[in-house]
Structure formats: structure tokens, C-alpha cells
Amino acid sequence: MINVESLTRYFGDILAVDRINLDIRKGEIVGLLGPNGAGKTTTLRMLTGFLRPTSGSIRIKDYGIREHPLEIKKLLGYLPESAPLYHDMIVYDYLHYVADIRQIAKEKRLPRIRKMADLCGLNEVMHRPIGELSKGYKQRVGLAHSMLDDPEILILDEPTSGLDPNQIVEIREIIKKIGKEKTIILSTHILSEAEATCDRIVIINQGKIVADGTTESLKQSDSGECVVNVSLKNADLESVRKELTSIDGVLSVGRADDDGGGILNLRISCRSSADIRGDIYRKIKGTDWILLEFYRETQTLENIFRKLTREN
């Protein structure tokens, strides 16, 4: 459905997007995840044809973005980060106006507006000025706008940014509902949002794709390391380090956040090919340290994200 090859964009000397490759299949909900300034918005703006790539290619269905920008625009609905809306207009008139400029056939306008009002939960505010609506409702109007002419692909730039937790859940539910029929690419830096909404997650950092897969596949991807957390009392860092680093498979022993009270919290980084929890336990058992906590860290999307974007 969407094929991106070696997509690159410079702003002067700033390399915002660096040779990105992406293949997105019909019906996928793809989350573009990355820290501030990673290049998410720039990528989305190039996909929608609002920004020219410095180099590389974008093909959507059978169209190339350079040769067929208008055909591509017809396939896409775009919700920019701060959706530009006319605040003086009432919601109903605004959607009519959008239907008009999108050249939706006259007889189809009303049914389409009704459908969007139902889908985006706008019925109770259809006759209120947009400027008086809460941010969550404004976002719903933006979503309805982006879907009014029934595009096959939706591109949503941080659709839940600035919303309260209830509004976030509501917008997320709408996106999931839409995702049953459409291909969606959304950008976010909220990990739980990507995890809850998307089939596939693409992590971007400093303009480059650093991970691409389902949440599960990302969690299972073996980085060669695992972390065992240990909390000890009656122990000092130097002797613990000396004992534990003598175990084959322990890569390093670092201090984790201190919670006072003479407790030593440690992060023991180990080669993931060997489960050496037994060895660590036996070492500790042979001392007079008091073991308060002992667990292996499970991979979370947050851990993966932090590991991959640490330089930022």
C-alpha cells in the first residue's frame, strides 16, 4: 500500500530524516514512535505531499509522490499536530464546508457528515461553535475532517497530544474503530498509546528507523543482554561488585536508584544466552548480605524505547 525507499530530508544542514525505508500493508495501524525532534512530523509531512523529500521515493498504491501528488492526496486523510480549524464556525457548517472543498457529491454530503458525527461522537456538539469546544472535541472535529471524503489511508500526527486521560482513551477507541477499515499511520511519543492502538511500531531516532515490528516482536528481540535487579542490605558496593562480576555471564554491576535505609539496589547486566540467576543467588547465599529483592527485568516497550533512543 505504502512503499518508502531511502527517504531523506534536510533543512539546511539539519538532517531531519535519514534514508528511511518502510513498507506498509493495507489495513495496518502503524505507530511512528520517537522522542522530540526524531523526524516523525517531517516523515508524515513528506508522506502527505506537504513537504518535498530531499531524496528518496514514496509510492502509495500505484502512484509516485513526485509524479502524482494529487492522486496521492485523494487517497489520504491527514490530521496535522495542531489541526487548523475555523473557530467561529459551528461544527456542522464546518464539515459541510470541508465536504464542499473536497468536492464530495452533493447527495453524499449529508450522509457522510452524519456517519462521521456518529463515528467521532460529535452529535451533541454539531451546532456549537468550534472555538467553544474542549480540546478533545476539537480533535474529534479534526478527525472527522480528515475522514470526510472516505480516504483509504489516514495519517495522524500526535492525535492525542494535549488531551486528558479520558479524552485520550476516547480518541484511541475511535482510531481503533477506524482502523478496522483503513490503513493508519500515527505518530506519538506516548508508548502506551502505541502499544494499545497499533499493530506495528516503528521507532525513529535522529531521523533513522531503529526498530520496526509488533510490540511482541520488539519485546522478544534479543539485544544480547538481560538485567537482573537485586536489593541487598548489609552489603557494600565494592565487595558486591567483586563477587558478582566473577560469575561467568555477568557483564556489569551498576547501582540503581537509591531508596535510602542502607539498602543497595543493583542492576546486574548479564549475557542473555545464559540464565545465571542461580549462580547469582548462590553467591549471595554464601555471604552475610541480606537479600531483600531479586527479579529479572522483563522487556517493556519503554525499556526498548529508552535503549534505542538513549542518545537523546
Q: Are strands 225-233 and 183-188 parallel, antiparallel or unpaired?
A: unpaired
Handedness of CA 30, 34, 36, 37 (dihedral sign): negative
Whichever of 13 and 259 has its CB closer to ligand ATP, that residue is 13
Residue 52 interacts with ligand ATP (CB under 6 A)? no
Report, in Å, the least distance between residue 206 CB and ligand ATP. 9
Residue 230 Cα to chain centre, angstroms: 31
Q: Which of 22, 42, 122, 168 binds ligand ATP (CB under 6 A)?
A: 42
Residue 37 interacts with ligand ATP (CB under 6 A)? yes
Stretch that binds ligand ATP, among 31-39, 167-175, 211-219, 292-300 (CB under 6 A): 31-39
Residue 11 interacts with ligand ATP (CB under 6 A)? yes
Q: Which residues lie closer than 8 Å to 239 by C-beta, 6 or more apart?
A: none
Residue 39 interacts with ligand ATP (CB under 6 A)? yes
Stretch that binds ligand ATP, among 34-42, 71-79, 87-95, 278-286 (CB under 6 A): 34-42
Whichever of 13 and 288 has its CB closer to ligand ATP, that residue is 13
Report, in Å, the least distance between residue 185 CB and ligand ATP. 13
CB 284 within 8 A of CB 230: yes
Residue 16 interacts with ligand ATP (CB under 6 A)? yes
Whichever of 10 and 63 has its CB closer to ligand ATP, that residue is 10
